[in-house]
Amino acid sequence: MRKMKLPQGVGQVYKLKGTRRNPYIVRKTIGFEEVNGKKKQIIKTIGYAKTYQDGFNMLMSYNSDLVKNPNETKVVVTPECKYKFKDIFDKWSKDFFPTTSKSTMNGYNAAFKGFVGIHNKLFATLKTRDYERIIADSGKNYSTIRKMKFLLNMLYKFALKNEYVDKNYAELVDISKYSNKNPNKRDREKFSKEDINKIWAMPESDSKTITLMLLYTGTRVSELLDLKKKDVNLKERYFNVVESKTAAGIRVVPICKKIYPYFESWMNRNDNELLFENKNHDPLLYRFFRDNYYEEINELLGTNHLIHDTRHTFISMCTEKSMNETVLKKIVGHANAQSLTERVYTHFDASFLVEAVDVLD
């Protein structure tokens, strides 16, 4: 179909720059607002199309729907609903973030970035189809998509409470079709004995020592990086995990003799409250450890291990040494794998756990 100049008020279909799956954008002016004393158009993006013909048909279909529902063309922008999507997020997060954990904040900030295409759109003009279109084009896995919908629900709950909108368009967003979508999923792969020997042979570094400490304790990386010196007992060779994502995660973790020198070194390195610090002498955060320390080990090995592979490897090494299954569950904090009897009645002295892990080589 030959491109044509459409009559005023019908809308626009034009091609975007760059290589895109759907290069044609379909837009229409749906109202006006006053900004600094000047009238400004409120432009709604209806969608994206593969060809001009598809975009034209989309626009005509949209206009046809407006004939049936003429009130949708009349957007009255009150001072309260002049806020853009990013403004609503900023207002909501200012209230919510001080009441939640840092990891939760990071999750919602990441979800917010997923909506970058509508950050500057007026919140009151966005509809369910706008959000579904963003999600469909995001390429994110289901876990991230679900967090994006959680964020939308939180924003609408906030906006309804403050009367910025009168309807929750997030509740109708359907993400069920993405439930099996996880393009970033990788199977767990334990470190080979050859890889572990290569790590031991590496020159001494923080990357090496912390990776080995993960491999020989079986702790989750957050449990180790959040470890406080007061919770480490060098004399008895164990440490206490006092914060974990599960109740069974609150436990005693033995320090095998093979990595004891590393715990001793970190305990005596500084006077900080936490056991670990980064190169700038600040607390060692997960992202910094992953991007700077752990990736260095992967590069030297020529591997692509996930951090959780260290925990998987510890369990495998203990199993190979015929460690008692109940003892192993206690050490790694596996709640779901324990029977009721194991959870309630089985208690082990720290020295017994230390003796159990000393078989690792």
Per-residue pLDDT band at 56 (split at 50, 70, 90): confident
| Sheet order of strands, 24-35 included | 12-15, 24-35, 38-49
Q: Rounded to whole angstroms, how far apart are CA atoms 198 and 200? A: 5
DSSP strands (E only) in the chain: 12-15, 24-35, 38-49, 232-233, 238-241, 251-254
Which architecture, in CATH terms, is 193-357? Orthogonal Bundle (1.10)
pLDDT at 280 over 70: yes
For 331, the token pair is 């050490």
Q: Which residue has the tokens 């959780």?
A: 308
Assign 28 to helix, strand or coil.
Answer: strand
Amino acid at 237: R
Q: Rounded to whole angstroms, how far apart are CA atoms 242 and 221? A: 14
pLDDT at 55 over 90: no
Report the percent of the chain where pLDDT is more than 70: 84
For 206, the token pair is 């923080």
Q: Rounded to whole angstroms, how far apart are CA atoms 123 and 355? A: 61
The per-residue pLDDT for 234 is 95
Of 126 and 82, which is predicted with more confidence? 126
pLDDT at 347 over 60: no
Angle at 352 between CA 346 and CA 357, to 5 degrees: 110
Per-residue pLDDT band at 313 (split at 50, 70, 90): very high
The answer to whether 46 and 127 are in contact (CB under 8 A) is no
Average pLDDT estimate for 227-253: 87
Of 339 and 300, which is predicted with more confidence? 300
Per-residue pLDDT band at 80 (split at 50, 70, 90): very low
pLDDT at 178 over 90: no
Of 79 and 351, which is predicted with more confidence? 351
Q: Rounded to whole angstroms, how far apart are CA atoms 42 and 291? A: 42
For 22, the token pair is 């759907």
Distance of CA 168 to the CA centre of its chain: 24
The per-residue pLDDT for 344 is 38
The per-residue pLDDT for 81 is 56
User: Lowest mean pLDDT: which of 12-26, 56-70, 298-312?
Assistant: 56-70
Count of beta carbons in the 10 Å neighbourhood of residue 6: 14
Average pLDDT estimate for 81-108: 86
The per-residue pLDDT for 1 is 54
The per-residue pLDDT for 142 is 80
pLDDT at 250 over 60: yes
Domain limits of the chain?
Answer: 1-77, 79-185, 193-357
Report the percent of the chain where pLDDT is more than 90: 32
Count of beta carbons in the 10 Å neighbourhood of residue 130: 21
Count of beta carbons in the 10 Å neighbourhood of residue 52: 18
Per-residue pLDDT band at 103 (split at 50, 70, 90): confident
Maximum alpha-carbon separation in the chain: 83
Q: Rounded to whole angstroms, how far apart are CA atoms 223 and 214? A: 10
The CATH superfamily label for domain 79-185 reads Tyrosine recombinase, N-terminal domain (1.10.150.130)
Q: Rounded to whole angstroms, how far apart are CA atoms 247 and 205? A: 33
Of 194 and 242, which is predicted with more confidence? 194
274 has which bridge partners? Answer: 228
Amino acid at 24: Y
pTM: 0.51
pLDDT at 336 over 70: no
